[in-house]
Amino acid sequence: MQQPVETYGRGSRIYDRASLEEIDGEVLSVNKINSRRGGGYGMHLLLKTAEETVEVHLGPEWYLEEQDFSVEPGDRVEIKGSRITFSGMPAIVAAEVKQADRVLTLRDTNGIPLWSRRQQQSN
């Protein structure tokens, strides 16, 4: 994995249910992004599809680790998520990631991150 490269905002505020789509492609890189809220990193993929190369925002590193889910460069994945513009570039905020026979759900049907419920339950 690469070193942290930049910061990101609050993902649930940029998720737009009106822009949902499904894409698939090859993972070019997996990046840890410094969280502005502190306490860890957000995980992003750079995904090459047949039409474009796009950044995919997954979720907190700790949540992916807790779900025992990892993605490596060269992996083929399917992403269901919200297309947004982030720092002037197209991106996808992932709600679901399919890798081989494995499915990782990151957000509910309203776009609320599943990890935010876990944080609320622990408080």
pLDDT tens track for 7-27 = 334 444 578 888 999 999 999
Residue 121: pLDDT band (50, 70, 90) is low
Per-residue pLDDT at 55 exceeds 50: yes
Is residue 77 within a helix (H) or strand (E), and if so which, with residue range? strand 76-86
Say which amino acid occupies 52.
E
Domain boundaries in the chain?
7-122
C-alpha dihedral sign at 116, 81, 12, 6: positive
Long-range contacts formed by 93-99: CB under 8 A, 24+ apart: 93/11, 93/14, 93/15, 93/57, 94/56, 94/57, 94/58, 94/59, 95/15, 95/20, 97/58, 97/69, 97/71, 99/69, 99/71, 99/75
CA distance linking residue 50 with residue 13, whole number of Å? 28
More confident: 95 or 17: 95
What fold is seen in the domain 7-122? OB fold (Dihydrolipoamide Acetyltransferase, E2P) (2.40.50)
For residues 26 and 108, give the distance between their C-alpha atoms in angstroms, rounded to a whole number. 25
pLDDT digits 0-9 by tens, 37-54: 666 789 999 999 999 999
**pTM of this structure:** 0.83
